[in-house]
């Protein structure tokens, strides 16, 4: 049975930033996706966060555009899109867990995964 994995920013950054300490691990995860052992789910907020981080960490914007295109055009990755209801639920989680260092994006992901 194929495992479904929620893919967060760290995996995407490691995949597209060759200098990342976890680049090899991320590439192994991509191989599992391409070979059909896993299916991936992510969210619009994760893509937003990844685009921002890559654009700040990389010297060339071409890789950032490559990431964006790979997600937008992907037939292998399911994208979850936030609704106003999800935003409200994320806001409630953020008010509760934000003081502990949990990002709003992570609260949105938790909201979407419910």
pLDDT digits (tens, 9 = 90+) for 52-68: 999 999 888 999 999 99
What pLDDT, on a 0 to 100 scale, did the predictor assign at position 114? 84
pLDDT of residue 83: 97
- Alpha-carbon distance of 70 to 72, in angstroms, equals 6
What is the model's pLDDT at position 93? Answer: 97
Residue 60 has a pLDDT of: 87
Q: What is the rounded distance in angstroms from the CA atom of residue 11 to the CA atom of residue 114?
A: 21
Mean predicted confidence (pLDDT) in 58-84: 93
Going along the chain from its start, the domains and CATH numbers come out as: 1-81 (3.40.50.1010), 82-114 (no CATH)
CB 69 within 8 A of CB 61: no
């Amino acid at each position: 049975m194929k495992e479904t994995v929620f893919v967060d920013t760290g995996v995407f950054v490691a995949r597209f930033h060759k200098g990342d300490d976890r680049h090899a691990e991320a590439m192994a995860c991509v191989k599992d996706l391409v070979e059909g052992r896993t299916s991936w789910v992510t969210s619009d907020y994760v893509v937003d966060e990844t685009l921002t981080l890559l654009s700040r960490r990389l010297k060339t914007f071409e890789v950032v555009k490559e990431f964006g295109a790979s997600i937008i055009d992907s037939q292998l990755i399911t994208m979850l899109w936030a609704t106003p209801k999800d935003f409200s639920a994320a806001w409630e989680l953020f008010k509760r867990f934000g003081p502990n260092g949990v990002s709003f994006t992570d609260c949105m992901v938790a909201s979407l995964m419910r």
